[in-house]
Each structure stands twice: as structure tokens, then as C-alpha cells.
Chains A and B, each alone.
Chain A
């Protein structure tokens, strides 16, 4: 974002882990796929959701 010219780039709120229960809400993923995915991660998801904000300078 900063390379594009944005200023005051910041994370907003807490970052939420995309754990098995959370990913299970999405219809994009089958149970079989999630079994495979979390096996690749050793059972622990390294992925999080964040909110980011950047401002275009005046």
C-alpha cells in the first residue's frame, strides 16, 4: 500500500484467526478439503483476518 502512495497505513481492530470452525462457515470449502488443509498446517491455522486502512494524501 505504501509503495502505491498511501499514507497512515494502519491495522484496525484485532486480527482474528481463520481457524477450522471459521473456515467451515464458507461454502467454498468442503469438509474433505478442510481436513487436508489443516493437515498441511499441522492442525493449527497460520492465517488471520485483518482490517487495513490507508489514506491518499491531500
Chain B
């Protein structure tokens, strides 16, 4: 990922592109994604509707390895799969908080938490550039294929640093590139949202 890659869009345009792309994803499309990045043990803990909304690029929960009692923040939680996997690991005393700026995804994620009976998972409206959590309130910050969507990546990392407790960890999966993207790709809305 490059810092502040040159884009032809304003920050508001970029946010609109992402909202529209992810707000219109049809449930059922993400099963192949889930099967490609999560273990059989993890998948067995997740109802089909949760697996079907998987849109991430990797498995940050596996590498972050949150434990009982920890507080985990998931940036861009989407349908909630990583937040819910984290909530399973940190219970009974820990909690997992997913933030997203797509209302439809928040509704789905809350529905998925209820489906799993998880009372230690919550989903909150917010952006990763202005995280709606106090300073030093999280042990772990995770994100799965989302930070690349920000036009202010430096701001995102500063916010992650702010909300983490000393000794806390940021673990995320995302895309990187060898070299630079062609101008035609950089200026394509579908490519940007992806």
C-alpha cells in the first residue's frame, strides 16, 4: 500500500464509491471467499449467512490471536465475520467491536451476532479515520481488506495507535502491489472499491 495514493476523486467521492459497492453486495456471494481464508474449525463456528457475507482478503484474527478478556476492534467490519470470530475467542469477559460506515452491513452484522447468541459483539457506525472509541481502549485492532479503501491511510494508522493500549497490537490483512497501478485502473471505480 502506498501512502495517500493520487486519486482523481475527493474524499467524499471515494467514500460514496465504497458505500455503494459494499452496500449492494448480495448475500450468498462470499462463500467462496470464506472457504479460501478461514479454517474448517473457524467455519464450523459460523452460520451460513455469516460465511456468505465474507469479503475480506485474509484472516487477521488468526494472526492477532486474541484471548479471553481482551477488547478487539475490527475496522470495516462488514457482515461481521472477523468481529464474531474475535468475540468467540475473547469471551466470556472480553468484547469485540466492529465499526463500519455502511448501515446495511451494520444491520447484517448485528443480525449475525444475534443469530450466534453472542452478546459480547457490538457493531457501531463510524469511520476508520475517526474511530468512535476512547484513547487506549483496545488490546487488539484488526482489519481485513479495508485500510486500502481509505484516502487517508496515515490518519487511519494514527487512529489505530490512539485507541490501542500500550503493548496493544494492530494486525491486518490487505492488498499490496509490486510497482504502481496503471492510471486506467487507479481511475476505475470498481477497481477502487475492490
| Chain A residues within CB distance 8 Å of chain B | 1, 3-6, 12-13, 15-16, 18, 22-23, 25-30, 33, 37, 40-41, 46-58
Main secondary structure of the interface of A (DSSP, over half): mixed
Residues of A contacting B179 in the complex (Cβ-Cβ under 8 angstroms): 46
Are B164 and A56 within 8 A (Cβ)? yes
Give the complex CA separation of A37 and B184 in angstroms. Answer: 9
A30 to chain B, nearest CB (A): 8
The 8 Å CB contact of A52, one of B29, B165, B171, is B171
Are A27 and B57 within 8 A (Cβ)? no
User: For window 45-91 of chain B, which residues contact chain A by CB distance below 8 Å?
Assistant: 55, 57-60, 63-64
A29 to chain B, nearest CB (A): 6
Counting residue pairs across A and B whose Cβ atoms lie within 8 Å, the total is: 114
Give the complex CA separation of A58 and B164 in angstroms. Answer: 11
Residues of A contacting B55 in the complex (Cβ-Cβ under 8 angstroms): 26-28
Main secondary structure of the interface of B (DSSP, over half): mixed
Are B190 and A50 within 8 A (Cβ)? no
Residues of B contacting A30 in the complex (Cβ-Cβ under 8 angstroms): 190
The 8 Å CB contact of A49, one of B157, B175, B178, is B175
Give the complex CA separation of A57 and B182 in angstroms. Answer: 38
In order of increasing CB-CB distance, the 8 nearest A-B pairs are A27-B29, A4-B157, A25-B32, A56-B164, A4-B161, A49-B57, A53-B171, A58-B166
Residue of B nearest to A52 (CB): B172
Are A6 and B170 within 8 A (Cβ)? yes
CB contact under 8 A between A51 and B63, given known A6-B170, A28-B193, A58-B167: yes
